[in-house]
Structures are given as C-alpha cells and as structure tokens.
Structure 1
Amino acid sequence: MDITLWIMIIGWVFVLIWVPFIIYTNKDTHPKALFVLFFAEMWERFSYYGMRALLVLYMTKVLFMDLAQNVAETQAYGIYGSYTAMVYLFPVIGGLVADQLLGFKKTIIWGGILMALGHFTLALQGFESLEGNMPFFFAALALIIVGNGFFKPNISSFLGTFYDPNDARKDGAFSIFYMGVNIGAFLSTLTCGYVGQEINWHYGFGLAGIGMTLGLIVFYIFTRKSKDFEGKGLPPEEVRSGEKKFIGMKPEIGVYVLSIIAIPVCAYMLDLDEVMAGALIIISLGIVAYLVYEALTAKDKVVGQRLLVVVVLFFFHAVFWALFEQAGGSLTIFTDKNVDRLIGSTEIPASIFQSLNPLYIMLLAPVFSWLWLKLSKAGKEPSTPMKFVLGLTQLALGFAVIVIGAKFFASGEGLVPVIFLALMYLLHTTGELSLSPIGLSMVTKLSPAKIVGFVMGAWFLSIALANKMAGIIGTLTTNEEVTDDTPVSVTLSFFSNTYFIWGVCVVGGAALLLLLLVPLLRKWMNGIH
C-alpha cells in the first residue's frame, strides 16, 4: 500500500471539507472580498510552494548529480538563497508599480501571468533536450521572481483596503487570509512533492503552473463581476485620465516592457551568489534609510513614529525568516538524510514533510483569529511587538526540540524519530501565526496611505534579506569532507550544531532584545494596537 498516496488523498478530502466550513463560519463577520482574495492567494501559493518543495531536492539529485555531494548541496543552497531572496526583493518594485501606475488589480494579474509561465517553463525541462540546461532553468526561476514581485505584496495590500485601520476584525481577517496561503502550501507540498519525487520532477513543476493559472482565473472573474470590488484596486486618477506617462509611454506598456527586460537580468544574477548577497545588503540599507528619512521628515510626528515601528520590526522579521526558511533548504536535506521516515514498509518522501507547517496553520489559524478577537474584547490582546516576541521565542523552541532529538534520541544510525520533526514544525507554525499575518496587518495599519504598497514591498524585502541569509546558514550544515558514503550519524552533528547556534541562541537572543524594546515601540504606535 502506498501510504504517501493515501496521505495526499486524505489531505485533499480534508481541505474540501475545511474550506467551506471556514467560509461559512466567517461569512457574516468579513466582507466577501476576503474570500475571493483568500482563494486566489491559495492557488498562487500552491504554485510557489509546490515548486519550492522540489527545488533543492531537484538540484541536488538531478541538476548537480555529477558533482560531489557537499559541492552539490552548497551550490543548491546558494541558488535557492538567491532565488528566494529575489522572490521577496521584487515586491518592493511591485508595490510601487501598483501605487503609482497600474493599481492593485492589473498589477496582480500581470504578476500571475508571469509566474504561471515560469512554472510551465520548469515543466518543459522534462524534454530530454532541455534537461540540465542551466540558462533555461534560470530563465524559468526569473519569470517566477518577477511575477511574484507584482503579485505578492499587492494582494495583501488590496485586502487591507476593505478594512479601516483600527477595525478589530483586521488581524483576524489576515489570519484567515494567511490560512488560504497555507492551504495552497499544504496541498502543493503533498501533491507536487508526491508527483515530483515519485513519478516525474517535471510533472510536479507543471502542476504548480496549473495551480497558478487557476488562481489567476478566479481573481480575474470575481474582481470584474463582483460589486464588492467596484472602485477598488484601480490605477491612480492621473493614469486613468491619460495624463501620466512612464518612460515616455502608456504606464501599462512601460511596465510590461521593463518586466521583460528584467527577466534575463534576474536569470544572470541567480548564478552570482556573492554579488547577490552584497546587492541585497546595499538595497536593504538604502530602502530602510529612505523609510527612516520619510519617518523623520513627516509633517505629522505620529505618522513618522508609526513608520519607525515598521523599520525596527523589519530587522526582527528578517531574523525570524532566516531560520524559518531552512524548511525549504537545509531542513529538507536534514529530513532526507537524518529523519526516520519509514511508516510500515513505506518511506515517506522528504518533500512531503513540508506539508506539516501549512497543515498546522489550517488547523490553528481560525483559533488564533478567534483568540485575538477574544483577547481584544477583554482588553488583554498583546501588542504587535509583543506578538513578534512570542513568534521568535516559539521559533527558537522549535529548533531546541530538533537539537534535543538529535543529541539524545537519535538511533545508532543517526536517524531522529519523526515525532521531533513534527513537534518542531508545530512550534514554528505557532510562532509564524504569532508574527507573520500580524506583520502584514501592521503594515497596512501603520504605513502612510500614499506609500502603503511601497512599505508592504519593503516589508517583503526583509524576507528577501532573510532568504539570502537562510541560504548562507544552510551551507553551514555541509562539510567538504562529506561524501555519498559518509555515515548519516556524522552529518547529524553538522545539522544539530548549526541549529543550536543559529536557531536557538541567535533567535532566542533576538526575542530577548525585542522584549526590552516593546514599551518604546508601543509608545511610537500612538494608539494603534
């Protein structure tokens, strides 16, 4: 019996019951737009996480199969880090495009088209003549990078326009929206992971493309025909009237032209690991400096102080994601090498375990949404900075669980019981729910209205920086002495030592530092909770 196939089937059945239940129980509390955006984002994340579940494994097992194991892993981590970094770097530009030129609707649709093309391009590498063709591989990733830059920040910002800044429902709405993200991630890691590893890598990538196309169709139909979206997400007035030009042409055409030019540039940068790391640091410092300038020169002191809160939390957000994103990199290789994945006579593919995080979010997001509303009514809801402290603390505890499992419960062969992996993902998930959707909601509350798309893009830039850091941290789990014949009991120590230093000590220290800053940040929020 193929247990993995049954896990996938049960997962789909569960979602088909769970999603209607969530919509039904929240339909009278939130606007219908939440559920349309929820569904579109669900399929977009299906595409992204379906590809992410396979990417590092595909590179190490197929693209770099002729290289020594440690070299293949180091190269894969470098490309993965640069790819995921640029995925979250381009939203800065995408946010500006929506704010100044196209509006949310058109920007989201253009991004979805480019992402779908990228996934289908990866699927085309299944043809023998294209297998292993690195320029083609990089071009596919570049399409996803540029497309994601237009899609990712703007669908979150678009949701924020349906709620007032101090609406008590807002954090709950973003928690439900975030559950949509993770339903897509759950289904894709089960489906694309199974199809990619057990049947054919490129079928898995193709399924990711189909998911993106479905999300795009849903968004296009409902935003055109639903009354809830009338007058929402449109380009600025001066663009609609034809007064504003962009690089000497109609803004829409200018954006499309520059997008196409950006694709080969991104493809080239994917293979320049050190250059990419340096560029990210410079860009991050430049954008943070601009936000600080905007905050300090704001005519309204309250507006400036609120923006400073976003800037401070930017750095703690980056620390969180640098370690959390080991899930798509070193933790996947750790699971493949050092976790006992046997259930009965079936060995569960390593990529399938990435579905634990989104599964937990599906189950717990409604609980967190209810919890924040309940605490808010009782006057006991933690402030946004305090929720960040809770998120970082739980992330550190998750890595502590893995370290304990590796140090005290691993078998003689160096295999950690799967329960420790499941517990780690549970703690990482509760940490994520305490921090990530709250961060998205916070940006829409604390940002000046005229630059909310840009600030949302800058917020995703912290994840870009984090993902590049994640790739660098991932390389610390490798060793030049490791070969295909190295016992897994030896590789286990490389993973556990790295996770102790970075996952437990660094993240725990960041949580303690932020705890000390909470009173000051609450003061700067000036009444926004």
Structure 2
Amino acid sequence: MDIAMYTLIIGWIFVLIWVPIVILTNKKTHPKALFVLFFAEMWERFSYYGMRALLTLYMVNVLFKGMQGADVKALSIYGSYTAMVYLFPVIGGLIADKIFGFKKAIVFGGILMMLGHFMLAFEGSNLLFFASLALIIVGNAYFKPNISSYLGTFYEMNDPRKDGAFTIFYMGVNIGSFLATLTCGYVGQQINWHYGFGLAGIGMALGVAVFLLSGKILGKDTGLKPDVIEFKTKKPLGLSWDAVVFIGTLIMIPICAFLLDQNELMSTLMLIISIIIIGYLLYEALRNPDKVAGHRLLVVIVLFFFHAIFWALFEQAGGSLTLFADRNIDRIISGSEIPSSLFTSFNPFFIMVLAPLFSWIWITLNKKGKEPRTPMKFFLGLFFLAAGFLVIVLGGKFFANAQGLVPMAFLAVLYFLVTVGELCLSPVGLSMITKLSPAKIVGFVMGAWFLSISLGNKLAGVIGTLTASKGGSQTLSPQQTLVNYTNTYLIWGVFVVGGFAILLLLLTPKLNKWMHGIH
C-alpha cells in the first residue's frame, strides 16, 4: 500500500471541501478582494513551498552527492536562498510604493518566479540551478510584500476585521504549501526531481492567471502606480523609471546567482543591509513630528528582532528538520515508507484547520475587549515555538529506538505546537505593519518586515549547519546524527527562543503604550 499516494489524494479532497466552507462562512464579513488575493497567494505559495520541499534533499542527494561536507554546503545555500527571498522585498516594496504600484509589481514578480521554477524543471549544470533560484528570488521581491500590502488597502486602519482577514489570507498561503509539499514532494522524490520542480512552475502560472483575471473584483482604481514619482531626477539617463527598474532587475539576477554560493559574503551583506534599513526606520521614527506615529514605528522595530528569532527556528522545517525526518524519523507505516519531504505538510495542514478558529477567536475576544495586544501574541508565538522543539528533543533523547529512529508522532506534535505559535505571530505581524506604518512608506516597512524573516532564514542556515558533520553526514550513523540534532535543538530551539520569549514578556507593557490605542 502506497501511504504517500493515499495521503496525496486525501489531501486534495480535503482542500476541495475545506476551501468552499471557509469562503462561504466568511463572504459576508470580508470584501471579495480578500478571496481573490487568497487564491493568487495560494498558488504562488504552492510554487515556493513545492520547490522548497525538494531543495535541500535535492542538493544533498543529487547536486552535491558524494561531496565532502555536502550537508554544510546545502544548508548554507538554503540559508542564503531563503534569506534573499525575504531580503529583497524591501526593494520590491519601495518600487511598488514609488514607481509600479501594487498590481504591476505583483504581476511582474509572478512572471519572473514562474520562469525560475520552469528552469528548475530542466536538468543541467550548477549554473542553471543557481540562475533558476536567482529568478525566483528577484521575482519574489516584487510579489511577496506587495500582495500583503495590497490586501491592507481594502480595510480601514483600525478595522477589527483586519487580523481575521490576514489570518484567512495566511490560510491561503498554507493551503498552497500543503498541496505543494504533498504533490511536488511526492512527484520529486518518488518519480523525478525535475518533474516536482516543474509542477511548482505550473502553480506559479495559475497564481498569475487568477490575479490577472480578477480585475473587476479588485477594482480598476486600486493598486495603481503613484500619480507623481517623488524623485529629484525625473528621467535618469533619459529613461523612464519603469525602464530603470527593468534594467536593474536584469542586473540583479546574476548577482543573486553569484551570492547563493558565497556564504560569508552573503552574511556580511545581510548585516550591512540590516543596519542600514533599521537605521533608516529609526531615523523615520525619531524625526517624525507626529510622536504617536514615531512610537508606533518603534514598536515595529523592536518586534523586528523577536520576529527574526522565531523564523530562525521555524525555518529549520525546510532545512535540518527535513534531513532529520529523512535520517532519524521512523517513516514506515504498514510496510510503506513515507517520503521525508511530505512531513513538511504537517505545518500547512494544521494552519488550514486552525486558521479559521484563530480568526474567530481574535474577533470574539475583540468584541469582549479581551483580545491580546500584538506584543503578547508575539510572546505566545515564541512560547509555543520553544515548546515544539522541547517535544522533539524529549523524543530524541528518551524515545528513540536502537537504530536512532524517533516515532513520527513527536515530529507531528512539534509541527502542531510550532503552527500554533506561527498563527499567534505571523499573520498578526502582517496586519500590524498595515496598522502601524506611516501611509507613505507602508510598502517599504512591509519589505523591512520581510527583512526580519530574511535574517531569521540566514540564521536558520547557520543553525542548520550545526547539526551536520564537517566531514559530511554520510560518515555518521543515525545514532550520531540524532545526538547532533537534539543537542542543537535544545540549545537554540528551547533555551534561546525561551529566553527571548521571557524578554519580550517584560517589554510588553512599554510596547503596548507606544501603540497608542492601535490593537
């Protein structure tokens, strides 16, 4: 019996039933635009997570197979890739604010990502592989921040429905992730790696199509480019600003391809860019004549760092946790082995089930005046993240069998607790940016918010390499790799995250005060 195939079929049936239920139960509460953007983002995330489910496994088992230190190299590239995926939205958000507008940025980014995914479908050299990832990185810079910012324009600043809307939107993200990890993961590992990557490209094409075909619902007058481009030079070198952006995009693609394999250089650039952007946000907050607006921006800056720590451990899912599942989880059910990539579907499955519940909880508590403020929700996110890693550490240290294999139930519980933490923190963070950011730079601040995820992803790559042997994991037994994983997760997942959670709890009263009534 092929458990993976049955899981794939059941997963698609579940989604085909679940999505209409979510739409029907929320269509009277939210504008139709939410559901259009829900579907567009769903297919975009299908492409991203479909590729991500295979990326580390493909590098270790195919691209760098037999190479000394394959784990370290693969996890370093994974960290740089995911870091850039969330770094360049800072620029994409600024371009949408000042030049393109949200709609044009979303379509342009989607097309670039689609091309990148389709290139991965072809077997070729390492150069082709890195060029494909670079296209996805640059395209994501335009798509990712602007579809979230665009959604925020359909709600008033302090609309009590907003957190619920972003939670539903976030469920769309994870439906795409769930279907992708089941579908692309199965096809890639069981049939052909490049077929799996090709399916991700089809998902991206569907995302662009959904967005383009929904112009009437979104409205002709929404998401357009600004009336005036506020730069001193109206036409640099005699070119339009659109042409400058297109040329700059073409230049960035080979630069990103180069940086993917330059771990130390990438780390240095990340640090420099982060200091510059945080410095600019601090400047905007402190110089703002409106002290209330300045204080609100300071809240964003403080939560930026806690957000980065959350993602540093959460993003082990696509890196070290995927390899952990491959090597140290007992994956046999009724004589059938479950592909390790399918375990990443636990997280989006739990989000699909729990997101409507969380949306209802926040709205219900808000009506009763008992909804936790954003900093407290961030504390809960870190708390549940630490609890999830504590579970996997306990499973590895006390419940592993003689072969170094841990029952899959422990990995399922980890993903459940991490998902609860994610729902407390991530969609609420997106909503927070649209509430606390000055109107003229909301796209830039949204991009800066994704920079915190970028930093987290780069740190995730560093943490991931701590689980690997410098000589290559092929020389280690499952018992030895289990020790590496559990010790790393205990230090970083439990102690470091737990410490940051306590610190945030202490800062919460001050942050609540700085929000000046924004919930």
Specify the TM-score bucket, using the shorter chain as the normaliser.
Answer: over 0.9
Query: 1:108 is aligned with what amino acid?
Result: I
Superposed, 1:24-423 pairs within 5 Å as: 24-68=24-68, 71-125=69-123, 130=124, 133-223=125-215, 225-226=216-217, 228-238=218-228, 244-245=234-235, 248-423=238-413
Distance 1:469 1:493 in 2: 21
Task: For residue 330 of structure 2, give the secondary structure of its aligned residue in structure 1.
Answer: coil
2 CA distance for matches of 1:471 and 1:357?
19
TM-score where L is the length of structure 2:
0.98
**SS of residue in 2 equivalent to 1:175:** helix
Distance in 2 of aligned mates of 1:57 and 1:247? 46
What amino acid is aligned across from residue 144 of structure 1 in structure 2? I
Q: Matched residues in 2 for 1:482 and 1:57: separation?
A: 14
Q: Residue deviations 1:385-404, cap 9 Å, x none?
A: 00000000000000000000
Deviations 1:386-433 (A, max 9, x none): 000000000000000000000111101110000000000000000000
Deviation at 1:258, TM superposition (A): 1.0
Residue 247 (structure 1) shift = 5.6
How far 1:261 sits from its partner (Å)? 1.1
Q: CA 1:158–1:201 in 2, change beyond 3 Å: closer, same or farther?
A: same
Distance 1:517 1:247, change over 3 A: farther
Change (3 A) 1:319 1:247: farther
Does the 8 Å CA contact 1:81/1:472 hold for their aligned counterparts?
yes
Q: Is 1:460 the counterpart of 2:450 in the alignment?
A: yes
Aligned equivalents of 2:290 and 2:237: distance in 1?
33
Distance 1:521 1:305 in 2: 9
* Pairwise CA distance, 1:485: 4.9
Contact kept? 2:71, 2:473, Cα under 8 Å: no
Q: CA deviation at 1:248?
A: 3.6
Distance in structure 1 (CA, Å) of the matches to 2:246 and 2:119: 19
How far is the alpha carbon of 1:251 from its aligned partner? 2.2
* Contact 1:80-1:329 at 8 Å conserved across structures: yes
Q: Secondary structure at the match of 2:474?
A: coil
2:470 corresponds to 1:480: yes
Which of 436, 453, 461 is 1:471 aligned to? 461
Residues 104, 155 of structure 1: 8 Å contact kept: yes
**Structure 1 letter corresponding to 2:358:** F
1:484 is displaced (CA, Å) by 2.7
Partner of 1:8: 8
Please tell me the residue identity of whatever aligns with 2:487. N
Q: Which runs of 5+ in 2 are unaligned?
A: none
Provide closer, same or farther for how the CA distance between residues 353 and 369 of structure 1 changes in structure 2, counting only shifts above 3 A.
same
| Aligned-partner Cα distance in 1 for 2:287–2:388 | 41
Q: What's the CA shift for 1:254?
A: 1.9
1:239·1:245 contact (CA, 8 Å) conserved in 2? no
Q: Label 1:247 to 1:46 Cα distance change in 2 as closer, same or farther (>3 A).
A: farther
Amino acid of the residue matched to residue 52 of structure 1? R
- Deviation of 1:260 after TM superposition, in Å, equals 0.9
- Write out per-residue CA displacement over residues 220-251 of structure 1, whole angstroms, 9 at most, x where no aligned residue: 1102x33x4231100001259xx943564222
Q: What is the CA–CA distance in structure 2 between the aligned matches of 1:82 and 1:248, rounded to whole Å?
A: 36
TM-score w.r.t. the length of structure 1 is 0.96
CA contact (8 A) 1:269 1:276 kept: yes
Question: SS of the counterpart of 1:381?
Answer: coil
Q: Per the alignment, in what secondary structure is the counterpart of residue 124 of structure 1?
A: coil
Q: In 1, distance between residues paired with 2:261 and 2:65?
A: 18
Compute the displacement of 1:480 (Å): 3.0
Secondary structure of 1:379 counterpart: coil
Q: Which amino acid aligns with 1:102?
A: F
Amino acid at match of 1:492: L
Name the SS of the counterpart of 1:287 in structure 2: helix
Distance 1:495 1:454 in 2: 37
Q: Deviations over 1:190-241 (max 9, x none)?
A: 0000000000000000000000000001101102x33x4231100001259x
1:337 and 1:488 in contact (8 A); partners too: yes
The 1:215/1:379 distance shift into structure 2, 3 A limit, reads same
Distance 1:53 1:165 in 2: 36
Q: Does the 8 Å CA contact 2:111/2:205 hold for their aligned counterparts?
A: yes
- Give the Cα separation in 2 of the matches to 1:455 and 1:176: 22
| SS at structure 1 position matched to 2:406 | coil
Tell me the distance in 1 between the aligned counterparts of 2:464 and 2:237. 41
Q: Which residue of 2 aligns with 1:449?
A: 439
Residue type matched to 1:116 in 2? M
Aligned residues: 517
- Does the Cα contact within 8 Å between 1:295 and 1:303 map onto a contact in 2? yes
**d(CA) in 1 for partners of 2:302 and 2:239?**
38
- Matched residue SS, 1:66: coil
Q: Indicate if the aligned counterparts of 1:329 and 1:474 stay in contact, CA closer than 8 A.
A: yes
CA contact (8 A) 1:78 1:471 kept: yes
Per the TM alignment, residue 481 of structure 1 is displaced from its structure 2 partner at its CA by 5.4
Alpha-carbon deviation of 1:110? 0.2
One-letter amino acid matched to 1:38: F
1:46 alignment partner AA = F
* Contact 1:238/1:244 (<8 A) preserved: no
Structure 1 residue ranges without an equivalent (≥5): none
Residues 195 and 203, structure 1, Cα contact 8 Å, conserved in 2? yes
Between the aligned partners of 2:402 and 2:396, the Cα distance in structure 1 is 11
Tell whether the 8 Å contact from 1:339 to 1:417 is kept in structure 2 after alignment. yes
User: Are 1:18 and 2:18 matched, yes or no?
Assistant: yes
CA contact (8 A) 1:112 1:148 kept: yes
SS of 1:484's equivalent in the other structure is helix
* Contact kept? 1:47, 1:208, Cα under 8 Å: yes
SS of alignment partner, residue 479 of structure 1: coil
Amino acid in the other structure paired with 1:90: F
Whether the 8 Å CA contact 2:80–2:260 is kept in 1: the answer is yes
- Indicate conservation of the 8 Å contact 1:74/1:475, yes or no: yes
Look up the SS of the partner of 1:238 in the other structure: coil
Q: Distance in 1 between matches of 2:406 and 2:202?
A: 36
Equivalent position to 1:428, from 399, 418, 435: 418
Deviation at 1:310, TM superposition (A): 0.2
Identity rate, percent: 66
CA-CA distance at 1:123 after TM superposition: 0.5
Asked if structure 2 preserves the Cα contact closer than 8 Å seen for 1:119 and 1:144, the reply is: yes
Moved over 6 A (4+): none
Q: Is the 8 A contact 1:247 1:254 kept in 2?
A: no
User: Could you give the per-residue CA deviations for residues 43-79 of structure 1, whole angstroms, max 9, x where no partner exists?
Assistant: 00000000000000000000011213xx000000010
